[in-house]
Amino acid sequence: MNILIVGSGGREHAIAWKVAQNNSVKKVYCAPGNGGTAIEEKCENVNIEDINRLANFAKGNNIELTIVGPEVPLTEGIVDKFKALGLKIFGPSADAALLEGSKAYAKAFMKKYNVKTAAYEVFEDKDEALKFLKACEYPIVIKADGLAAGKGVVICENYEQAENTVIEFMVKDIFKGSGKKLVIEEFLEGPEASILSITDGETIIPFVSAKDHKQIYDGGKGPNTGGMGAICPNPYCTEEVLEAFKKDVMEPTLKGLKEEGLDFAGIIFFGIMITKKGPYLLEYNMRFGDPETQAVLPLMNSDLVELIYAAINKKLSQFELCWNNGASCCVVAASQGYPGKYNTGIEIIGINKANRVFAAGVKYEDGILKTNGGRVLCTEALGNTVDEAIDKAYKDLKNISFEGIYYRNDIGKL
């Protein structure tokens, strides 16, 4: 069978690598893919991003299954489009993707179905928002309603900062529409965890927990990035936390999906914060996480294609999802300057000396691998313990070099 993977990041490389392990998979097309998927076994890149053209490509190339990585095509309705044409695709409908695409919608859903989450208010009027912010306690969290590439959340320490944020989001419109509506919510404290899960609309199965590292510098300092590395399992996700997560977050979410008629086969990624009062849901992402996927999938002993088919055929309740009992770590190498300005086109050396690399901002040009983005690649390693996985991932990364290579030195160190 032929599979199509939509997206171009490290997440998509990890998905391509994993599905290629299924013996019945002949070819994995990555649209547009990257320099890593260009040379991955069974993989071929196709330079298409437009949804209609992707559907035509799937029709014309015997694609039996399409897997979508990023949120943007999901919220734009790629799943609905493919399904209308009779094409098999894994991911949420545009309706369900709104749980990621609109924070106000997601919070209303959480409230309606008793999913444990921070108290909040929604504002569409600047003056109303400022009036509320004058009277509230600090710190407070302001979130742009729509997609903002991970930049739409600001923790405000005082009124001045909050006012400034409201003006940037609502008046200066820095997110081009996404910040016209705001969610203002209670500030929570505690370690965070990423719990990916798979659903077929009737059953939901959580994956092994993961921990992302969002800030650019060691110690969690500096601006947020797309994610600088991940470990799996997340050491804060004890049995007790996972039980509370299932009861207070995951199960009410499934109930809500059913009652709202949001029927789909796809991934739900729960971004939680483990507070003194237990796990709270911060956000839904209706897709695989990046870089969590690069750490989680290598630990999955089950076949991903079979798992996805079980979800599409509504047979998840009969699927026994198996995991390696060990741990995993991925460490991202970024271009100097990221998440701000950076150069591209720099030769990458030593990639063959690392055991497992998932490429992201990498292009393959005239037989040479070159940087092509902010987050360039990650090394990923398994171990019996998290510490062993961390050591191996860093050892591998030390074999790789490019001018201006930057990575955090504390991935997985708590």
Q: Would you tell me which residues interact with ligand GLY (CB under 6 A)? A: 212, 227, 285, 289-290, 292
- Shortest separation between residue 140's beta carbon and ligand AMP, angstroms: 9
Instruction: Give the Cα-Cα-Cα angle 364, 397, 342 (nearest 5 degrees).
Output: 55
Provide the token pair at 99. Answer: 């749980």
Task: Output 222 or 271, the one with its CB closest to ligand AMP.
Answer: 271
Q: Is 271 in the site for ligand AMP (CB under 6 A)?
A: yes
Regarding 108 and contact with ligand AMP (CB under 6 A), the answer is: no
Site mask for ligand AMP (CB under 6 A), range 191-230, x = bound: -x--------------------------------------
Pick from 85, 149, 155, 322: which binds ligand AMP (CB under 6 A)?
A: 155
With 0-12 / 13-18 / 19 or more C-beta atoms within 10 angstroms meaning exposed / middle / buried, residue 31 is: buried
Minimum distance from residue 364 beta carbon to ligand AMP (Å): 33
Pick between residue 22 and residue 178 the one whose CB is nearest to ligand AMP. Answer: 178
Q: Considering CB distances under 5 to 8 angstroms, the limit depending on partner class, which of ligand GLY, ligand AMP, none binds residue 285?
A: ligand GLY
Does the protein bind ligand AMP through residue 322 (CB under 6 A)? Answer: no
290 binds, among ligand AMP, ligand GLY, none (CB under 5 to 8 A by kind): ligand GLY
Judged by CB under 6 A, which of 55, 87, 122, 141 binds ligand AMP?
141
Q: Answer yes or no whether residue 300 interacts with ligand AMP by CB under 6 A.
A: no
Tell me if 153 contacts ligand AMP by CB under 6 A. Answer: yes
Q: Is 188 in the site for ligand AMP (CB under 6 A)?
A: yes
Positions that interact with ligand AMP (CB under 6 A): 118, 141, 143, 153, 155, 185-188, 192, 271, 282-283
